[in-house]
Amino acid sequence: MRLEISCSKCSEQIAPGGSGDVYSCVYSVCDDGIYEFECPQGHHTTTVLRTPKHEVLYTIGANAFLDGYFRDAIASFASALERYYEFALRIISRHKKITLEMFMETWGFMPNQSERQYGAFITVWMIERKGEPYTKFSKTQIDKSNTLRNGVIHKGNIPTPAQCLEYGQYVMDIIAPIEKVLLADYAAAHKDECFALFRDESTKRATPITALSIFSVLDSALKNDDKKLEPIIARLEEVRTYKGNFSVGVKHQMVTHHRK
């Protein structure tokens, strides 16, 4: 998956009602969410992706589905869920005034162990929500989804498109009720966590940086009443067609848009 980042200084230089060229750079998505480039006019731009990691992963999964890479789609949906559990724990910790250092010290005991992280999440949720379950899925349903995921990730199984959509929907159905609670009862901490990377990078740098949000498949679906993946995948396909399908490929390239 790639994304397009415009030079903010080119855009600023166009007077209201005027016209001019704006350079953009098309990038493959990177892990740290920080994108820097120099446009042909010599402007240096630093852009921070504000979209949370789990939403980026989920969107990568949806793009992989549209590209026909069904194994990769399930792997990315599964990673999105793992990162979402971490996101939820970070929010609850912030809400409890736990510092990032304290959080990281404990997280350091399980950085590469998703089962431990999941265990940490369900235990914290149980204590925090006084026994209220985090999901309506039964243990049998959860085991069935985990078996599909493990077969794909560890055994090289190639899922069908239907299994892919079903798994993506399952991940969304796990996240939706948790996100609803976090947005309602932990709103300030939720907002704080979403802005953390941008804020940290802003304070580190002498020059201003810009924030960017991508079309988030998960966020778009969660904002709909029916919370269904399939219609949002169709919308993503439209977005890709409109943008010339630049999500496919690995080459970094500079593009020019003439604004009037």
Chain residues in the site for Zn ion (CB under 5 A): 7, 9-10, 39, 41, 43
The torsion of the CA quartet 59, 62, 67, 71, rounded to 10 degrees, works out to: 110
Question: 177-185 contacts: CB < 8 A, separation 24 or more?
Answer: 177/134, 177/135, 177/136, 178/84, 178/88, 178/125, 178/134, 178/135, 179/222, 181/129, 182/88, 182/91, 182/92
Nearer to Zn ion, 191 or 252 (CB): 252
Query: In the chain, what is the greatest distance between 2 CA atoms, to the nearest angstrom?
Result: 61
Nearer to Zn ion, 9 or 129 (CB): 9
Letter for the amino acid at 80?
A: A
Q: How far is the CB of 47 from Zn ion (least distance, A)?
A: 12
Q: How far is the CB of 72 from Zn ion (least distance, A)?
A: 34
Q: How far is the CB of 7 from Zn ion (least distance, A)?
A: 3
At 252 the three-state DSSP class reads coil
Nearer to Zn ion, 18 or 68 (CB): 18
Is residue 4 within 8 A of residue 25, CB to CB? The reply is yes
Q: How far is the CB of 158 from Zn ion (least distance, A)?
A: 44
Nearer to Zn ion, 13 or 157 (CB): 13
Question: Rounded to the nearest 5 degrees, what angle is found at the Cα of 62, between the Cα atoms of 57 and 72?
Answer: 70
Q: How far is the CB of 20 from Zn ion (least distance, A)?
A: 10
The torsion of the CA quartet 221, 222, 224, 227, rounded to 10 degrees, works out to: 70
Nearer to Zn ion, 10 or 217 (CB): 10
